Amino acid sequence: MQNRVLSPEAKRQIRDNGFGISGSIGGITRQKYFTPDGREILAIPSLRGYQSRDGSGGIRDANLDNGWLLQPPTALKLYCRYCDKWHDTQADIDQCGKKRNSFISRYQKEAEKMTADAIPAVAQLKSDMEKMKQMLAQLLARDGGNNGSLFQPEIDNT
């Protein structure tokens, strides 16, 4: 096997991108976006037409609505795991977490109340089903339960 010496440019590309295929290899071209916390994302531009109320319109990239940027951010923001967005300070993230937790606890209590209200209705449905099963068993016992004439009318072939 022959030893090959890599150029500094090839070494840099392998260091930056790994050993897999990188760069443009055909298909839909991807745009490089940056998140406010500094991560790079290669994504297909999501171009959408828009019309404003004053009659002007055009085409916009909907990926920018996610908070993505076309240039690396100059001031990094902190990623919030509660709302999947970015905030300026850790205090903002803590406040977002408190809001989310209070929202969850409030609706959890409402869901528990609705479940508690539904328990009597479910019990009533179960008792009604038992009554219907007993009535069906009585009808089948009266008919003998063997020939099924209760559910199928007899055909007179005379």
Q: Hey, which bits of 12-153 come out as E strands?
A: 31-34, 40-43, 47-51, 57-61, 78-80, 85-87
Averaged in consecutive runs of 10 residues, what is the pLDDT profile of the chain (158 residues)?
72 72 69 92 90 89 91 93 92 95 92 83 90 87 62 62
Q: What tokens were used for 133?
A: 């099963």
Tell me the pTM: 0.51
Neighbour-count burial of 79, counting CB atoms closer than 10 A to its CB (0-12 exposed, 13-18 middle, 19+ buried): middle
Q: What b-and-e string marks burial along 29-60, b requiring 16 or more CB atoms within 10 Å of the CB? A: eeeebebbeeeeeeeebeeeeeeeeeeeeeee
- Provide the pLDDT for residue 10: 77
Integer CA distances (angstroms), 62 to 8, 41, 65, 66, in order: 38, 14, 5, 7
- Provide the pLDDT for residue 112: 87
In one-letter notation, the amino acid at residue 95 is Q
Indicate the domain borders of the chain: 27-74, 77-132
In one-letter notation, the amino acid at residue 29 is T
In one-letter notation, the amino acid at residue 43 is A
- Provide the pLDDT for residue 123: 86
